[in-house]
Amino acid sequence: MHDLPDSIPALWSAQAHMPSVLGRQLVIDRGEGNYVFTADGRRLFDGTAGLWHANIGHGRPEMAEVAAAQIRRLETYHVFGRYVNDRALELAEKVASVAPIDDARIILNSGGSDSIDVALKLARRYWQLRGRPERTAILSRDLAYHGLHAYGTSVAGLDFNREGYGTDSLVPDTVRFDTYDIERVRETVERVGPHRIAAIIAEPIQGTGGVIPPTPGYLEGLQAIADEHDILLILDEVITGFGRTGEWFAAQRYGLRPHIVAMAKGISSGYSAVGGIIVAPELWRPFYEADAPIYRHGTTYSGHATAAALALENLAIIEREGLLGRVRELEAVLETELAGLAGDDRVAQVRHAGLLGGIELRPEVSAEQVTDRMVEQGWIARPLRGNVIQLSPPFTTTDAELRELVAAVPTAMDALRGAPV
């Protein structure tokens, strides 16, 4: 056993190599607009919008007022059985009105990982109900990130998130397929047997896997495979939902017709813990008929009233401030700035879609070191798998801030080159 420091915080951080973070944690204690402030008073531009979620920026007074008013009236009431609360009803109507699925029904819960679990359970439950219990296989992309609950862990395409849990038995019958080449996806489907496949799940633009936009025709190819073999298509729009690509959903940008869409993050921009799924009529109708079984889902906080009130206000802000159009403008700025960076000999590749940017560095430069240096210089960016730097600032970012954020990458690389080893 190695010696541990005398004083260790009680909080066990998420996705952290604890020995490396102890003693160098960044305590964020205030947020305002596109900036957050550390407990020791440093101002940092939030170049990732936290974990791709703080889309309307931080510390909005109107959100504080909505929360306070809702709590005074009713903090929450559950939505089990015949009970329901008005805010959950309203949020579901609002989401259905912008959804990429007509006549959708909405299940609400507390975050992205919850959404993945309920989506994949619903896919299997649906085939059981249809008298096709052999359709249990779930196919997901290499490099996929679908959260870290049981289903999300089992369908992860990032091996480091699967390792160590006996994943093949955690949720059996999950298979990975190629992220780039649709012909290889077809081969996987044939190998597994299309009649055995419950669902294909995919992030339209892979986020944590390294900001990987779809290759031309890839998503359309997934749609065609799903249509051809009667396989359910589930889109994980936890990152892309609610405007990150300049449309309410990436499904609309790419012209897709999913059966289920998983959502979280941008639905509330992080002002409350909300997630959920958007369900096509084909799937919800069999559970609404007179002789239907109960679909056994739900948690205490499904449809939490204060969480829903905040999500509603967030969506109203996106509309009032024209933030979808703003993302489209910012996408053009990001594209230009990244193109400028592509010529840098330390950069292997630049990628973007909507207000999502990825800068892949050559192996001689470490994305982790660069982003550490960027934070020292006041810019939050995040290293992702594949030596990639994630840039995904709030929708309220100015053109100038976005230009400076991208420019902070070579500045940090220059500083590292000059730094003593």
Interacting residues toward ligand PLP by CB under 6 A: 51, 111-113, 116, 145-147, 203, 207-208, 236, 238-239, 264, 275
Minimum CB separation of residue 203 from ligand PLP in Å reads: 5
Minimum CB separation of residue 83 from ligand PLP in Å reads: 25
Q: Can you list the alpha helix ranges (DSSP code H) found in 146-199?
A: 150-154, 159-162, 167-170, 182-192
**Pick 31 or 112: Cβ nearer ligand PLP:** 112
b vs e for 401-419, b when ≥16 Cβ sit within 10 Å of the residue's Cβ?
A: bbbbbbebbbebbeebeee
**Pick 60 or 382: Cβ nearer ligand PLP:** 382
Minimum CB separation of residue 190 from ligand PLP in Å reads: 27
Task: Assess contact for 240 and 264: CB atoms under 8 A.
Answer: no
CA 137 to each of CA 69, 123, 133, 175: distance values in angstroms, whole numbers, following the listed order: 46, 10, 10, 7
Minimum CB separation of residue 237 from ligand PLP in Å reads: 8
Minimum CB separation of residue 40 from ligand PLP in Å reads: 27
Measured CA to CA, the distance from residue 149 to residue 260 in angstroms comes to: 18
Residues 62, 239, 201, CA angle at the centre, nearest 5°? Answer: 140
- Phi-psi domain of 314 (left: phi exceeds 0; alpha: psi -120 through 50; beta: other): alpha
Minimum CB separation of residue 72 from ligand PLP in Å reads: 28
Give every CB contact of residue 262 below 8 A, 6+ residues apart in sequence: 112, 115, 116, 119, 146, 234, 235, 236, 237, 238, 275, 276, 277
Minimum CB separation of residue 349 from ligand PLP in Å reads: 21
Task: Assess contact for 94 and 244: CB atoms under 8 A.
Answer: no
**Pick 87 or 146: Cβ nearer ligand PLP:** 146
**Pick 34 or 240: Cβ nearer ligand PLP:** 240
Token output for 270: 């992080």
**Pick 337 or 390: Cβ nearer ligand PLP:** 390
Measured CA to CA, the distance from residue 87 to residue 306 in angstroms comes to: 8
Question: What DSSP state is assigned to residue 33?
Answer: B
Measured CA to CA, the distance from residue 183 to residue 178 in angstroms comes to: 9
**Pick 238 or 359: Cβ nearer ligand PLP:** 238
**Pick 262 or 370: Cβ nearer ligand PLP:** 262
Measured CA to CA, the distance from residue 126 to residue 118 in angstroms comes to: 12
Minimum CB separation of residue 340 from ligand PLP in Å reads: 28
Task: Assess contact for 44 and 58: CB atoms under 8 A.
Answer: no
**Pick 299 or 398: Cβ nearer ligand PLP:** 299
Minimum CB separation of residue 317 from ligand PLP in Å reads: 20
Question: What DSSP state is assigned to residue 41?
Answer: S
**Pick 275 or 365: Cβ nearer ligand PLP:** 275
Q: Is 245 helix (H, G, I), strand (E, B) or coil?
A: coil
Residue showing the smallest CB distance to ligand PLP in the complex: 112
**Pick 143 or 347: Cβ nearer ligand PLP:** 143
Measured CA to CA, the distance from residue 348 to residue 362 in angstroms comes to: 5
Minimum CB separation of residue 53 from ligand PLP in Å reads: 8
Task: Assess contact for 113 and 152: CB atoms under 8 A.
Answer: yes
